[in-house]
């Protein structure tokens, strides 16, 4: 999750742009009401520069927080990080530098990660020249200046020859894909224009047909386009970005396009960032390239000449400071406009650190079932802290087995589909 701007905004466990939240959270816990109430009171204490009042409110909060389960403590820890950050701000304003530094350290230790905000927060001006502050700031940058982290991780190894099975794509003749194509009249939606317009028409349709909801589990157990479309229409609910990507992927397959569902993850060496994002790539036969398509945000990415780019090209452009553009109508649920700087320089820079995708792009492949094997391929940069094993395998009590291959070679990961 990403912190809201400090100074006790009432935290609701959302990102600034809710369209980007992938990790599913549960906001029905009664602790939320108490936490938001305390946050409001702490905000008043901050505005009054009431150190003692703020500390008392935090102490009361900690008592209730310590009663939570381990999972809930992890979920609501951002409240503590925010509380200590703002107490640090008060002490800095009052020029009590030791206390300001102590509480900033407490905030960081509880997960404060808004490096960019810290750089412009005037409340911290009185402690910026302190050596301890500089050390903490450097530590934060190494973890949470996401474009900086991505640039350090930019190198791959095209000589990596670890063997990866062949990526495969379900043919449009599959009966389930045929049913999806007919039920939703995808031929009419895709239209008869050129290939770029056709694939973008499907992107826009999926985005406008299904809402994104990153806060609640959908309860959908069958991971396929027909099931997700049926349930969302019947129950009038939104779904995660992963489920949106499943629908878009199945629609492309149903129309005969090769497509993949791509999981995009941060480095997160501290295991504190539970947010990631899932988008798609679709292969354009005439252009002989993959292109980036994001159904959650109705987004694609272009270079300065307006050429649609792949995930690999976007990542390389971010690392090398090349011009990037997103489509001007990119949005979240027709409610929030998606800005290029936040989407690419911050959010996707964070989540393009390492990638993985299913080995088989086919209908219902990721549905968890007994006696089933699902294979993923991970593309990791050379400075990622987990490089081994080359192949991992994990099975649960129902004999559902998840196999993962790792590679540092983008040429292997992004290999073009074989022509038929």
If you search the block for the tokens 């700031």, which residue do you land on? 137
Query: Do 200 and 324 reside in the same domain of the chain?
Result: yes
Q: Report the CATH number that the domain containing residue 57 is assigned in CATH.
A: 1.25.40
What pLDDT was estimated at residue 17? 31
312 falls in which pLDDT band (50, 70, 90)? very high
Query: Do 246 and 285 reside in the same domain of the chain?
Result: yes
What pLDDT was estimated at residue 138? 96
What pLDDT was estimated at residue 154? 77
User: For the chain, how many structural domains are there in total?
Assistant: 2
Assess if residue 12 is contained within a domain: no
Query: Do 67 and 208 reside in the same domain of the chain?
Result: no
What pLDDT was estimated at residue 272? 75
What pLDDT was estimated at residue 275? 87
Lowest mean per-residue pLDDT among 3-7, 127-131, 202-206, 277-281: 3-7
CB 230 within 8 A of CB 247: no
Please state, rounded to an integer, the average pLDDT across all residues of the chain. Answer: 91
SS3 374: strand
Quote the CA–CA distance of 249 and 174 in Å, as a whole number. 14
pLDDT at 294 over 60: yes
What pLDDT was estimated at residue 71? 86
Spell out the alpha helix ranges (H) of 279-367: 311-319, 340, 349-351
Query: Do 77 and 188 reside in the same domain of the chain?
Result: no
9 falls in which pLDDT band (50, 70, 90)? very low
pLDDT at 158 over 60: yes
Quote the CA–CA distance of 303 and 299 in Å, as a whole number. 14
CB 238 within 8 A of CB 210: yes
Query: Do 115 and 33 reside in the same domain of the chain?
Result: yes
Among the three residues 123, 144, 165, which one is the final residue of a domain in this structure? 144
pLDDT at 306 over 70: yes
pLDDT at 7 over 50: no
Q: Which residues contact 159 (CB under 8 A, 6 or more apart)?
A: 409
What pLDDT was estimated at residue 420? 59
Assess if residue 106 is contained within a domain: yes
Token digits of residue 101: 């530094």
In terms of residue numbers, what domain contains 107? 18-144
pLDDT in tens, 313-330: 999 999 999 999 999 999
Assess if residue 286 is contained within a domain: yes
Instruction: Name the region of 236 (left: φ>0; alpha: ψ -120 to 50; beta: rest).
Output: left
For residues 1 and 224, the model is more confident at 224
For the whole model, what pTM was predicted? 0.86
Tell me the chain's radius of gyration from C-alpha atoms.
23
Lowest mean per-residue pLDDT among 198-207, 210-219, 280-289: 210-219
Query: Do 191 and 135 reside in the same domain of the chain?
Result: no
What pLDDT was estimated at residue 51? 92
Nearest in space to 344 (alpha carbons), one of 310, 315, 308, 304 = 315
When pLDDT is averaged across residues 27-32 and rounded to a whole number, the result is: 73
First to last CA, the chain: 43
Cis peptide before 44 (omega within 30 of 0): no
Instruction: Name the region of 212 (left: φ>0; alpha: ψ -120 to 50; beta: rest).
Output: beta
Query: Do 250 and 394 reside in the same domain of the chain?
Result: yes
Among the three residues 103, 124, 144, which one is the final residue of a domain in this structure? 144
DSSP state letter for 15 = -
Assess if residue 6 is contained within a domain: no
pLDDT in tens, 380-413: 999 998 899 999 999 999 999 999 999 999 999 9
CB 118 within 8 A of CB 124: yes
Query: Do 249 and 375 reside in the same domain of the chain?
Result: yes
Among the three residues 114, 144, 174, which one is the final residue of a domain in this structure? 144
Assess if residue 113 is contained within a domain: yes
Assess if residue 78 is contained within a domain: yes
Quote the CA–CA distance of 128 and 140 in Å, as a whole number. 14
Alpha-carbon distances, residue 124 vs 40, 92, 93, 96, 112 (angstroms): 21, 6, 7, 11, 15
What pLDDT was estimated at residue 118? 95
Query: Do 195 and 220 reside in the same domain of the chain?
Result: yes
Query: Do 309 and 338 reside in the same domain of the chain?
Result: yes
pLDDT in tens, 262-275: 999 999 877 778 78
pLDDT in tens, 323-356: 999 999 999 999 999 999 999 999 999 999 999 9
pLDDT in tens, 282-293: 999 999 999 999
What pLDDT was estimated at residue 28? 59
Assess if residue 7 is contained within a domain: no
Assess if residue 2 is contained within a domain: no
Query: Do 50 and 87 reside in the same domain of the chain?
Result: yes
Quote the CA–CA distance of 394 and 247 in Å, as a whole number. 27
Query: Do 368 and 291 reside in the same domain of the chain?
Result: yes
Report the percentage of the chain scoring pLDDT > 90.
82
88 falls in which pLDDT band (50, 70, 90)? very high
């Amino acid at each position: 999750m990403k912190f809201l701007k400090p100074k006790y905004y009432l935290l609701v466990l959302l990102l600034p742009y809710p369209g980007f939240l992938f990790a599913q959270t549960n906001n029905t816990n009664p602790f939320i009401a108490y936490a938001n109430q305390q946050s409001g009171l702490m905000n008043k204490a901050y505005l009054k520069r009431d150190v003692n009042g703020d500390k008392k409110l935090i102490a009361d909060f900690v008592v209730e927080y310590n009663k939570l389960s381990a999972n809930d403590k992890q979920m609501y820890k951002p409240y503590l990080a925010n509380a200590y950050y703002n107490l640090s701000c008060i002490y800095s304003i009052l020029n009590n530098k030791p206390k300001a530094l102590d509480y900033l350290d407490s905030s960081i230790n509880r997960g404060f990660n808004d490096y960019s905000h810290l750089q412009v927060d005037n409340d911290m001006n009185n402690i910026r020249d302190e050596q301890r502050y500089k050390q903490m700031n450097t530590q934060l940058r190494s973890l949470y200046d996401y474009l900086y982290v991505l640039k350090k991780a930019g190198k791959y190894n095209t000589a990596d020859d670890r063997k990866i099975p062949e990526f495969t794509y379900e043919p449009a003749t599959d009966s389930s894909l045929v049913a999806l194509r007919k039920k939703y009249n995808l031929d009419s939606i895709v239209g008869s224009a050129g290939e770029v317009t056709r694939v973008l028409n499907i992107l826009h349709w999926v985005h406008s047909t299904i809402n994104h909801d990153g806060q609640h589990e959908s309860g959908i157990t069958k991971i396929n386009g027909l099931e997700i479309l049926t349930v969302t229409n019947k129950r009038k609910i939104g779904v995660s970005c992963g489920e949106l990507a499943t629908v878009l992927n199945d629609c492309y397959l149903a129309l005969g396009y090769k497509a993949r569902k791509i999981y995009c993850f941060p480095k997160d060496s501290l295991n504190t960032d539970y947010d990631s994002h899932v988008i798609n790539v679709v292969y354009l036969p005439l252009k002989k390239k993959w292109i980036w398509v994001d159904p959650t945000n109705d987004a694609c990415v272009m270079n300065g000449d307006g050429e649609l780019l792949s995930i690999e090209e976007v990542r390389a452009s971010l690392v090398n400071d090349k011009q990037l553009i997103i489509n001007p109508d990119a949005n979240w649920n027709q409610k929030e406009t998606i800005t290029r700087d936040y989407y690419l320089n911050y959010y996707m820079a964070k989540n393009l650190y390492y990638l993985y995708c299913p080995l088989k792009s086919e209908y219902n492949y990721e549905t968890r079932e007994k006696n089933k094997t699902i294979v993923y391929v991970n593309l990791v940069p050379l400075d990622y802290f987990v490089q081994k094993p080359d192949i991992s395998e994990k099975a649960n009590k129902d004999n559902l087995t998840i196999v993962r291959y790792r590679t540092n070679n983008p040429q292997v990961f992004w290999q073009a589909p074989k022509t038929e």
